[in-house]
């Protein structure tokens, strides 16, 4: 008699899900966004990467860690080092701790915490390797943006798709879920950009490496408090970065460059996180 083996997915509570939130001067938003994620009661952890915010953002997180020990974590860095390097720092931290699903999300509520689970479901049930909270697929929308922000964002997305041929309608999106195998595969040393181009380059690398990418419609809401980090330098980096990424992919072995080697992987797994703040034992 032939044996039949039935696969039972792991219960959601056993899967390790973590949201990386980079911060710089986000004291008005950080407590609220942390509490909004935990109020979902869906087994999410949070890692805040703070770049030396002079407004006391990190201290607010430290106080909250006492309320959410083992769920909320803080990595402090010296100086404003850029969004891309903050996420890469967070990716390495999460890989070292064997999280299964790793999310990018802004601190300012432009990304709705309730949409985290929709991104997760696109990966867990939909079998995507990367899921993107997209403003530009059917059902996606933007609220409270001035015309110039619409113009730069939509124009940047169209420009990126035309130059790279990447079949992603919102390549600059910053609300993303990565399965661990994607981040274990990508060679972070080959990711060069820190602003909009960082978001594009991560998606481009994932696509070139053959991972399945899904776009989930979201409503993006412009921040209500705090100051936008958008600048002309970030936009310029995005334009130049897109051209450079595609140029390198055409004339170099791009897949080999962005594919993690065993040696580099070992270095990532043993990375030293010297300023992690956790709750003291009581």
- Domain count of the fold of the chain: 1
Written as six digits, the tokens of 52 are 């030396």
Domain around 229: 15-274
Q: Residues near 189 by Cβ (< 8 Å), separated by ≥ 6?
A: 264
Q: CB under 8 Å, gap of 24 or more: what pairs does 254-261 form?
A: 254/208, 255/208, 255/209, 257/187, 257/190, 258/186, 258/187, 258/190, 258/191, 258/205, 258/208, 258/209, 259/185, 259/186, 259/187, 259/209, 260/184, 260/185, 260/186, 260/187, 261/187
pLDDT in tens, 144-164: 877 777 777 777 788 888 888
In a domain, 238, yes or no: yes
Q: What is the DSSP string of 179-225?
A: EHHHHHHB-GGG----SHHHHHHHHHHHHHTT--EEEEE-EEE--SS
In a domain, 4, yes or no: no
Q: Is the pLDDT of residue 9 over 50?
A: no
Q: What is the DSSP string of 121-187?
A: HHHHTT--SEEEEESSSTT-EEES--HHHHHHHHHHHHHHHHHH----S-TT---EEEEHHHHHHB-
Q: Is the pLDDT of residue 125 over 90?
A: yes
What's the CATH number where 47 sits?
3.90.550.10
Cα 75 to Cα 45, 163, 208, distances in angstroms: 14, 36, 30
Q: Is the pLDDT of residue 6 over 70?
A: no
Whole-number pLDDT of residue 277: 54
In a domain, 142, yes or no: yes
pTM: 0.84
In a domain, 281, yes or no: no
Whole-number pLDDT of residue 225: 60
Give mean pLDDT, residues 19-47.
97
Q: What is the end-to-end Cα distance of the chain in Å, rounded? A: 57
More confident residue, 252 or 206: 206
In a domain, 10, yes or no: no
In a domain, 156, yes or no: yes
Q: Is the pLDDT of residue 109 over 80?
A: yes
Backbone angles phi, psi at 75, to 5 degrees: -115, 120
Whole-number pLDDT of residue 22: 97
């Amino acid at each position: 008699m032939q044996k039949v083996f039935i696969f039972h997915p792991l219960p959601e509570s056993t899967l390790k899900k973590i949201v990386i939130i980079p911060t710089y001067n986000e004291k008005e938003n950080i407590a609220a966004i942390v509490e909004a994620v935990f109020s979902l009661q869906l087994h999410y952890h949070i890692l805040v990467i703070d770049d030396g915010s002079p407004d006391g953002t990190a201290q607010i997180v430290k106080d909250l860690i006492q309320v959410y020990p083992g769920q909320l974590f803080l990595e402090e860095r010296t100086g404003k080092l850029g969004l891309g390097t903050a996420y890469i720092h967070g990716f390495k931290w999460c890989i070292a701790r064997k999280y299964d699903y790793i999310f990018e999300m802004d601190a300012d509520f432009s990304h709705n915490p309730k949409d985290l689970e929709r991104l997760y479901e696109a990966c867990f049930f939909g079998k995507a390797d990367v899921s993107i909270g997209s403003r530009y697929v059917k059902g996606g929308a933007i609220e409270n943006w001035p015309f110039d922000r619409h113009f730069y964002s939509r124009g940047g997305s169209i420009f990126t798709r035309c130059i790279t041929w990447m079949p992603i309608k919102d390549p600059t999106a910053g609300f993303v879920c990565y399965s661990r195998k994607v981040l274990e595969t990508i060679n972070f040393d080959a990711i060069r950009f820190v602003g909009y181009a960082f978001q594009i380059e991560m998606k481009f690398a994932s696509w070139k490496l053959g991972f399945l990418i899904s776009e989930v419609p979201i409503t993006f809401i412009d921040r209500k408090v705090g100051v936008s980090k958008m600048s002309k330098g970030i936009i310029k980096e995005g334009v130049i970065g897109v051209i450079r990424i595609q140029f390198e992919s055409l004339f170099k072995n791009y897949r080999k460059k962005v594919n993690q080697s065993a040696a580099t992987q070992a270095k990532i797994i043993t990375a030293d996180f010297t300023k992690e703040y956790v709750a003291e034992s009581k």
